[in-house]
Amino acid sequence: MRMQIGKYIKYKRLSKNITQTELCTGICSISTLSRIEGGKNVPTFFVKKAIFEKLDIEDDPFIIYASKSSLLFQEKINSITTLILKNKFQEAKNQLEELKIFVDSEVHLELNEYNLVEQSIKIIEIILKIYLEKDDSKITQDIYYAISLTNQLDDFNEKSILTFINKILTFNEIILICIYLYYEQSSISKKQNLELEYKQNFITNKQLLVTESELYFEDNNKQNFVTDNKMEDNNKEDFITDNKMENSNFHNLYLLHKLYDIIKSRYSLSEQKNKSLLITQYLILKIELKYEDYATAISICDNCFDLTQKYGYTILSPRFLFFKAIALDKLNYDKEYVKTYVEKALSGFQFLDDQTYIKKAENFLKTFNDFI
């Protein structure tokens, strides 16, 4: 079996035209990978998991190589993630502290595994900081540090991020880029309080027309152009990019769409691909709702709801129903029709004990009942 896993990794790597350097970056040394592929070493749980994610291959046949403590670590990570999805942030924070103690005392790591484990923990810390502390000053630095644990990124700008997302990435690296793009876009929106009339042009004409106003761009002499970027699931025929226009709201949305396309074309297996697609589309959805592109939001909700049902990520299903109800309402659909989606979402939130969204759905229904 030792020979089999090494040969299997090598076979998959060569079949995908991935070099040893591309595969082992942020995971292990080239010499370690060579020993693994040659059957001289067996990859540890965290190394194997990262390699398999980059190669887009299933982990299950080789789960026998996982130690009890490493499996328990992954279970604890999954448990904290579930709490975050339920908006139980304080409980998640408490479990995170327990996880850190567990890692220090129980999980025996090889030198090249520390960064992989620390990155998983850092992702949770960043998400909790966004929701609990809301300290804008250090979150970007934390994301940069977390990425640097496995990859070198010169700076956070469109060029470097676009180069980065075209690399062979692990699931954690995809998550970090998603968090950064969404967080930065949200911060820009809050700081600038931009007007949204231009979004109507995007909705009605399927084309985003960018004004030259200083409200949107610092340099009025920058030439804006539209590039065709078909979005199969979202029915978007045109999208805008300009590599020189830093700090605009359009860049992060564009890069999220770009990341979505890369994930969709690169990965084939359900576990990594569909989790990644759900996360990117969920963040795109929230931005589209802010931009008042409700038709696109409805399309995303339908796609994501189908994914949650097909692959068992039902914890997110009620949110997509709820966001669809919001979009339908904004497009002046029949109130009773919209109400059915809110009621289904509320039922899901109650089953999950998601108090934050229970209140949102109940308030939404109250306004509906008053109107009807």
Calculate the alpha carbon distances from 62 to 25, 37, 219, 274, 355 in Å: 22, 15, 55, 21, 39
Does 199 score more than 70 pLDDT? Answer: no
What ranges do the domains of the chain cover? 2-65, 68-150, 169-292, 301-372
d(CA 118, CA 146): 8
Per DSSP, 111 falls in state G
Q: Residue 227 — φ and ψ, nearest 5°? A: -115, 140
8 Å CB contact between 239 and 257: yes
* % of the chain exceeding 90 in pLDDT: 30
Closest CA to 55 of 29, 31, 27: 27
Using CA atoms, how far apart are residues 40 and 35, in angstroms rounded to an integer?
5
Render pLDDT for 172-183 as a digit per residue (tens, 0 to 9): 998 998 888 888
Q: Is pLDDT of 215 > 50?
A: no
The answer to which of 153-157, 237-241, 265-269 has the lowest mean pLDDT is: 237-241
> Span 111-120, mean pLDDT?
85
Return the closest-CA partner of residue 217 out of 247, 178, 183, 259.
247
Q: How much of the chain, in percent, has pLDDT values that exceed 70?
A: 74
Q: Are 145 and 122 in contact (CB under 8 A)?
A: yes
- Residue 108 confidence (pLDDT) above 70: yes
At residue 224's C-alpha, the angle toward residues 222 and 226, to 5°, is 165
Residue 288 pLDDT level (bands cut at 50, 70, 90): confident
Amino acid at 60: D
Q: With residue 124 as reference, give the H or E element that holds it.
A: helix 114-128
Look-up of token digits 């979009």: 327
Q: How confident is the model at residue 200 (pLDDT cuts 50, 70, 90)?
A: very low
For 225-291, the DSSP string reads -EEEEEETTTTEEEEE--TT-TT-HHHHHHHHHHHHHHHHHH--SHHHHHHHHHHHHHHHHHHHHHT
3-state secondary structure of 333: coil
Whole-number pLDDT of residue 60: 56
Out of 130-134, 352-356, 357-361, 368-372, pick the least confident.
Answer: 368-372
Q: What is the pTM of this model?
A: 0.73
Report the CATH number of the 2-65 domain: 1.10.260.40
